[in-house]
Amino acid sequence: MIEIIPSLSILEGKCVRLIKGDYNSKTVYKETPLEIAMRFEEHGIRRLHIIDLDGAKSRTVINYPTLQLIAGHTQLNVDFGGGIQSFGDVSKAFEYGAKMVTVGSVAATNRELFSSWIVSYGRSKIILSADVLNGKVAVSGRLKNTQIDLMEHIEYYADRSIMYLKCADISKDGALQSPNFDLYKKIISIFPNVKLFASGGVSSMDDIKRLNDMGVYGVIVGKAYYDGYVSLKEIEQYIAQNQNG
């Protein structure tokens, strides 16, 4: 069964959502990140994706305290990303309670360093983040486009035994226009041994069910939950039905 993973995007200590990665097009939610995380846990969620948007933009991790607060007050398995640039950043994320880290910019700009993290920390703890726009990888909180071909990028790390890939089509992210199913189908067909977390565009439980039927390992849900298109009750029922059946 596909794992449903809510996301928390943190900017200036608050939970926000961006539209297509645009920092100037954001919605700020009134509840604290911890309050939201605790609600996820109450409805059967086991994993949480935290994005340090301040860190991604500034290229240095900012929101360790929020990570520590959520990890210390819930049993959620947190994967954390945004601004991670060094061995020290990765180690500190784990010290503050992350179970996994999600890294995009370093993977694109310093392949040797990122590859060394896979070896040093173990492939089960490192998630390759490859956000894409028009077939090319985007980095630095999606503020900078590269000329790196997405499939070539994934292949490089698949050859180095990467286990997890998080991929978001930026044109879909926060737009509630359904995921890029064709993109995910292509990734799964080419890299069947990589566990794919699909991100961006989810607008309904039907989208999640379709991703499940395609063989996607996990789906990251953000704006669809915050704007009421997918409820925690629906997620809870889906988890219960699949666990029992």
Express each pLDDT in 191-232 by its tens digit: 999 999 999 889 999 999 999 999 999 999 988 898 899 999
Domain 3-244: which CATH class? alpha beta
Residue in 197, 125, 121 with CA at minimum distance from that of residue 154 = 197
pLDDT of 174 reads 56
Confidence of residue 87 (pLDDT cuts 50, 70, 90): very high
Q: How far apart are CA 168 and CA 114, in angstroms?
A: 19
Region of residue 195 (phi > 0: left; psi between -120 and 50: alpha; otherwise: beta): beta
User: CA 166, 36, 101: angle at the middle one, nearest 5?
Assistant: 30
Q: What are the CA-CA distances from residue 36 to residues 3, 29, 147, 232, 238 (Å)?
A: 18, 10, 37, 11, 20
Specify the pTM.
0.92
Q: What is the pLDDT of residue 45?
A: 95
Task: Determine the pLDDT at residue 111.
Answer: 96
Which spans in 25-164 are helix H?
A: 33-42, 53-58, 64-73, 87-95, 105-109, 111-121, 150-158
User: For residue 34, with 0-12 CB atoms within 10 Å meaning exposed, 13-18 middle and 19 or more buried, which class applies?
Assistant: middle
CA distance linking residue 197 with residue 175, whole number of Å: 18
For the four alpha carbons of 50, 53, 54 and 57, in that order, the dihedral sign comes to positive
Confidence bin at 142 (pLDDT 50/70/90): low
In the three-class reduction of DSSP (H, G, I as helix; E, B as strand; rest coil), residue 151 is classed as helix
Q: Which 3 state secondary structure label does DSSP give 186?
A: helix
